[in-house]
Amino acid sequence: MTKTAEQILGKRAIAAVRKPINQAGGLPGAAYTSQEFFDLEQAKFFPRTWMGVGFKADIPNPGDAMPIMIGKLPIILARNNAGEIKAFHNVCRHRAATVLTKPEKGLKTLTCPYHAWSWDLDGSLKAIPFFDGTKDGSRAGLDRCKLGLTPLRCAEWHHWIFVNIDGKAPPIEKHVEPLNKIVTGTEIGATKLGKRQDWEFQANWKFQNDNWETYHHIWVHKGIFNKMSDDLELKTGEPWTETLQDGSFVTLKARKGRPPRTKSGGEHDVKHPLPKIPLTSGASRTVCTSVLFPNVTVTVTENHLASVIIDPLAPDRTVAKMGFFFAGNGATGRIYAPAREQVLNRWLGKSRKPGGRDGIRSQDFGIWEEQQIARHSPVADQVVFSPVWERNVHHFQKQLLDVIQGIH
């Protein structure tokens, strides 16, 4: 039986997280290291939310399908003949084998490798060959309408695919509404995929959301952010980014009047700068980096989007599914290749291989892996929040507990 948050973390620790930020304590180490808490998240947190599971560009055409996992739950994502993306439990209705074992292109049906039962891309059962000894199984008398693939609630928003396991989350429009408000006027749909990369790191998935502050920039991201004044108005002690929280959403939004960041690894010195993301008539440009809980990040700049979908595998293993999107021909055009390469180098590092530590993502993954080690210490049960920088982190940790405990 799955233990409760109070049984794993203790009432006192949970109460400490819920205090005002200047008095609060953070989640204790067990929330990051214990299999029990990871299992609790799988049972009580992820099923109640809209989980980001992939990018639409992963299955771009009708007949494309791929298997994914949400925790221990096997799922199929498939694009049907009408171009819609559907989600199904990846379980054969005959003997419960896995139906789809690897990504496929141009399928007409989804066919189980065990006994060749098959379904169309909308999940309707089409074939049960030789089930009753006949070629088409026509004598079996099975009610095929009751043996379709079991669907899951699935939704699309711009480049992203979401699944809600328990079917009870608010409409996807409600889930993404706070981010929609922030980026209103920015034509996200006008961007195209320029780069996809998956990267596994050896740390808990929550470190991504705990990282949604700019306090760490000049120390973790050396060579990218070089001065504290990139993030802090030194005379007033106010960050140049607003931290905004709204339900299952946090963001870091650039304040008006913010000076340009230090230009390191940017695309300012290339012959053909990347096209800017179009704006609707009269809209002003917004630069922000946001989290849609529990596991999708979206960074919007003037000329590209950078996104990560976090896939939790274990308490100390996570896959980052990364997508980078550019406006118009900026995604694939040859003349924009140098500028596109500079953007990707800034995010991923020049080597783009696990172990490299010269890009924003790789530097973050590295520090999270170090945190994972430290979280095994009892000293790590006493952490504090900066009221100046870390309101987003505090909000996320409270929200996590609220969902797990059924408060929201």
pLDDT tens for residues 186-218? 999 999 999 999 999 999 999 999 999 999 998
pLDDT band at 260 (very low <50, low <70, confident <90, very high): low
* pLDDT of res. 80: 97
CATH for 51-156? Answer: 2.102.10.10
Q: Residue 42 pLDDT more than 60?
A: yes
Cα–Cα dist 99/7, whole Å: 38
pLDDT band at 77 (very low <50, low <70, confident <90, very high): very high
Taking the CA atoms of residue 16, residue 17, residue 19 and residue 22 in that order, the dihedral angle to the nearest 10 degrees is 100
Q: Residue 355 pLDDT more than 90?
A: no
What residue ranges of the chain are covered by domains with CATH 3.90.380.10?
A: 171-404
Mean pLDDT lowest among 82-96, 151-165, 213-227, 347-361: 347-361
Q: Residue 257 pLDDT more than 80?
A: no
* pLDDT of res. 230: 82
Mean of all residue pLDDT scores within the chain = 92
| Mean pLDDT in residue range 104-124 | 97
pLDDT band at 349 (very low <50, low <70, confident <90, very high): confident
| Amino acid in position 404 | I
What residue ranges of the chain are covered by domains with CATH 2.102.10.10?
A: 51-156
| Mean pLDDT in residue range 326-354 | 89
| Mean pLDDT in residue range 288-301 | 95
Cα–Cα dist 281/330, whole Å: 21
* pLDDT of res. 283: 87
CATH for 171-404? Answer: 3.90.380.10
Q: Residue 354 pLDDT more than 70?
A: no
Q: Residue 370 pLDDT more than 70?
A: yes
* pLDDT of res. 356: 62
More confident residue, 131 or 261: 131
Q: What Cα–Cα distance (Å) separates residue 208 from each residue in 31, 201, 297, 403?
A: 14, 11, 9, 18
Cα–Cα dist 37/315, whole Å: 8
Q: DSSP of 316-338, one letter per residue?
A: TEEEEEEEEEEEGGGGT-GGGHH
pLDDT band at 296 (very low <50, low <70, confident <90, very high): very high
* pLDDT of res. 57: 97
pLDDT band at 353 (very low <50, low <70, confident <90, very high): low
pTM of the model: 0.93
* pLDDT of res. 261: 63
* pLDDT of res. 259: 67
pLDDT band at 233 (very low <50, low <70, confident <90, very high): confident
Cα–Cα dist 288/71, whole Å: 30
The strand pair at 317-327 and 304-314 is best described as antiparallel
* pLDDT of res. 264: 44
* pLDDT of res. 237: 86
* pLDDT of res. 141: 81
pLDDT tens for residues 372-408? 999 999 999 989 999 999 999 999 999 999 999 988 6
Cα–Cα dist 326/311, whole Å: 24
Q: Where are the beta strands (DSSP E) in 84-145?
A: 85-89, 110-111, 118-119, 125-127
Please say whether the beta carbons of 31 and 4 come within 8 A. no
pLDDT tens for residues 128-185? 999 888 888 888 888 889 999 999 999 999 999 999 999 999 999 999 999 999 999 9
Please say whether the beta carbons of 77 and 161 come within 8 A. yes
Mean pLDDT lowest among 7-21, 153-167, 222-236, 343-357: 343-357
* pLDDT of res. 198: 95
